[in-house]
Amino acid sequence: MLVLRAGGRVLATAMVGHDGHRGSVYYLAVDPASQRQGLGRRLMADVEAWLRARGVPKLNLLVRTANAAVIGFYAALGYGDNDCLSLGKRLDG
C-alpha cells in the first residue's frame, strides 16, 4: 500500500504488487475533495518508481470499460489498451 497524507489525513492510496515480472495496481483512490490536484498522477509515479526499484519491467492495471473518466486519466499517463481479455470467476457464491 502506498499512501499520500497531509496533516494526518489520508488523501490517496494505491494497492500495488508484483510477481517479479509484472506489477499490478489493484486499487487507486483519491479522496473526492482532493481530486484534480495531481495526487493520482503523483501516486502512479510513485507506484512506477516502486516497481522499477524492484526490477519489475511491466505494469498492468484493470479499468472497467464504462469508466471513461478513469480510462482518460490513465491514457494521459501513457497507458493504453493491450488488446487483452480479462477473465474472472466469482468464488463467493
Question: Domain coordinates of the chain in residue numbers?
Answer: 2-76
Query: Taking the model in full, what pTM does it have?
Result: 0.86
Residue 48 near residue 40 (C-beta atoms within 8 A)? no
Question: Parallel, antiparallel, or unpaired for β 9-18 and 58-61?
Answer: unpaired
Residue 11 near residue 43 (C-beta atoms within 8 A)? no
CA nearest to 2, candidates 21, 22, 30, 34: 30
- CATH assignment of 2-76, given 2.60.40.290, 3.30.450.90, 3.40.630.30, 3.40.50.10800? 3.40.630.30
Chain centroid to CA 31: 14
| The three cell numbers locating residue 2 | 502506498
Q: pLDDT tens track of the chain, all 93 residues? A: 999 999 999 999 999 999 999 999 999 999 999 999 999 999 999 999 999 999 999 999 989 999 999 999 999 999 999 888 888 898 998
